[in-house]
Structure 1
Amino acid sequence: MAIAVNIAWQEITPDLYETARARVRWEEDVADGLVLHASWFEDGGLRVFDIWESEGQLSRFIAERIAPVLKGELNVGSDPQVTMSPLHRYFVVAKSGGAA
C-alpha cells in the first residue's frame, strides 16, 4: 500500500542535505518504490514529504543507502521525527524538478 511520509529533522542543514544528496545520488539512482520526494527547510531544520509505494521499500532505502551516509560517513547523531499514513490516492504530474 502506498504511503505518505512526513519527516522533520532539525540537525540536517542545507549543506548537510546537499552533501548527502551528492553521496547517496537518490536523484540519479532512484530508489525502488519512491514516487515523489520534496524537501525544504523550516524552523532551522529539514522537512521532507515523500510518497512511497510501500513502507518496506522506504525502510530498505533508509537502511541500505541513507543511514550508511548520514549516520556513518557524516556522523549525524540525531534521528528524524517521522510520520507515515496510508494513501487513498495520489496523482503525480509528469514533470521533473530540481532546485526551486
Structure 2
Amino acid sequence: MAIGIRIKMEGVTADQFNVMERSVDPDSNPPEGLIFHASGPIDGGWGVIDFWESRELFDQFANERIGPAVAAAGMSGAPDIREFPVHEHFPR
C-alpha cells in the first residue's frame, strides 16, 4: 500500500530548497518508489507532500540522497516528518 509523507522544514527558504533539489536532481535521476511530489512555502519554512510506494523506499532515498543534499544546502535542524496511509490516488 502506498504511503503519504508530509514534511515541514522550519526556517528553510525557497533558495535553500532549490539548492538541495538541484543536488538531488530528481528529474534526471528519479527516486525509486516515488509516486508524487509537491513542495512550497508554509508559515515559517518549507513544506513537502510526497506519495511513495513504501516507507522503506522513502527512507532509503532520504538517507542516501536527501541527507547529504540538505547538509550541502546549509539547512539545519531536524524536519518534522509525518507518515499517513494513502487510500487512493489518481495519476493524471
Residues 5, 82 of structure 2: 8 Å contact kept: yes
Gaps of 5+ in 2: none
Q: Which amino acid aligns with 2:29?
A: D
User: Quick one: percent identity of the two aligned structures?
Assistant: 32
C-alpha deviation, 1:76, in angstroms: 2.3
Correspondence list, 1:37-52, <5 A: 37-52=37-52
How far apart are residue 74 of structure 1 and its match? 2.8
8 Å CA contact retained: 2:16, 2:74:
no
For residues 1-100 of structure 1, the aligned pairs below 5 Å read 1-71=1-71, 73-93=72-92
Write the letter of the residue equivalent to 1:61. F
- 1:89 is paired with a residue whose SS is coil
TM-score normalised by L of structure 1: 0.85
Question: Can you give the 5+ residue segments of structure 1 that lack an aligned partner in the other structure?
Answer: 94-100
Q: Under a length normalisation based on structure 2, what TM-score does the superposition of the two structures give?
A: 0.92
List structure 1 runs of 4+ shifted beyond 3 angstroms.
none
Q: Distance in 1 between matches of 2:44 and 2:74?
A: 19
How many residue pairs are counted as aligned between the two chains?
92
- Report how far residue 12 of structure 1 moved: 1.6
Look up the equivalent residue of 2:50 and give its one-letter code.
D
User: Is the 8 Å Cα contact of residues 17 and 73 (structure 2) preserved in structure 1?
Assistant: no
SS at the partner of 2:17? helix
Distance 1:88 1:40 in 2: 24
In angstroms, what is the RMSD of aligned CA positions? 1.1
